[in-house]
Amino acid sequence: MTQDLSLHHRRRSPTRDELAGIPWLALLQPEERERAVAALLVGDAMSGDYVCRVGRPVTYWFGVVEGLLKMSNDHADGSTMTFAGLPPGGWFGEGTAVKREPYRYNVQALRASTVAGLPIDTFHWLLDHSIGFNRFVMHQLNERLGQFIAAREIDRLSNPNVRVARSLAALFNPVLYPGVGEVLRITQQELAYLVGLSRQRVNEALAVLEAQDAIRVEYGGLRVLELDALRSGFFRRGGEQP
């Protein structure tokens, strides 16, 4: 699904269960859904595979069926700015797809992931013919704008605990990532990559958030107990505040 041959050669048709996890298919009329399903492909990305690269032409609109991706860009000084983590259920790059412009960001798999791709011509056909699809894309664009503004704010936070809290809250956005639910399957190292902190510092921040009953660390992931507390970054007395 990209110019990267290793991933490109792992394309296949989606299974019934994979199709059931694509949120916008349910919004289509029968003819629209039939066309979309016939065009959809999925690829099995290995950890480190690139789904999108800066400067490459857009060929698909992508979504995460399973796994975890990172959307980021590299600065001239060698540093990396992470725009978003992309958990299951998340579709991304709609702005690039609408404008048919080259990618301005990299998207890379942080673990073995299943990624769905809707060909760009089918994407535009649905924009031209489907009210339900248009509404979905419009909501995506609106939520994405808020997400990127929040990402800029998070990048400037000096308090690591608040930085981790706000980053976690972004991953539990029910509009952008309906496949996450209340439990996010993520390791501390993966979260460290997304937040831009060391694994040890992320572990310390998670301990603070758990002590504040904002999250619960479970085997293989995190359960959110107080999403509003994560979004605000303010906790009960005894927890650090910005």
In the chain, DSSP assigns E strands to 11-12, 41-45, 50-52, 60-66, 69-74, 80-86, 91-92, 106-109, 113-119, 183-184, 215-218, 221-224
pLDDT of amino acid 72: 86
Alpha carbons 152 and 83: distance in angstroms, whole number: 8
For 158-232, the fitting CATH number among 3.40.50.2300, 1.10.10.10, 3.30.910.20, 3.40.640.10 is: 1.10.10.10
Angle of helix 188-195 relative to helix 199-211, nearest 10 degrees?
Answer: 100
pLDDT at res. 199: 92
Beta bridge partners of 91: 63
Fold equal for 5-152 and 158-232? no
Mean pLDDT, residues 227-232 taken together: 85
Read off the tokens for 224: 């959110």
Specify the pLDDT at position 2: 44
Q: Per mean pLDDT, which of 7-11, 80-84, 181-185 is the most reliable?
A: 181-185
Q: Where are the domains of the chain?
A: 5-152, 158-232
Q: How far apart are CA 101 and CA 124, in angstroms?
A: 13
pLDDT of residue 220: 80
Predicted model pTM: 0.81
Question: Tens digit of pLDDT for each residue in 89-146?
Answer: 999 999 999 999 999 999 999 999 999 999 999 999 999 999 999 999 999 988 887 7
Q: Which two tokens stand for residue 229?
A: 């507390």
- How big, in percent rounded to 5, are the helix, strand and coil portions of the chain? 45, 20, 35
The confidence score (pLDDT) of residue 242 equals 41
| Residue at 184: amino acid letter | L
**Sequence letter at residue 10:** R
Predicted confidence at residue 19, as pLDDT, reads 96
pLDDT at 170: 87
Architecture per CATH, 5-152: Sandwich (2.60)
What is the Cα–Cα distance from 144 to 142, expressed in whole angstroms?
A: 5
The token pair at 158 is 């000096």
Length of the chain: 242
Is pLDDT of 11 > 50? Answer: yes
Q: Provide the b/e sequence for 120-150 (b: ≥16 CB within 10 Å).
A: bebbebbeeebebbeebbeebeeebeebeeb
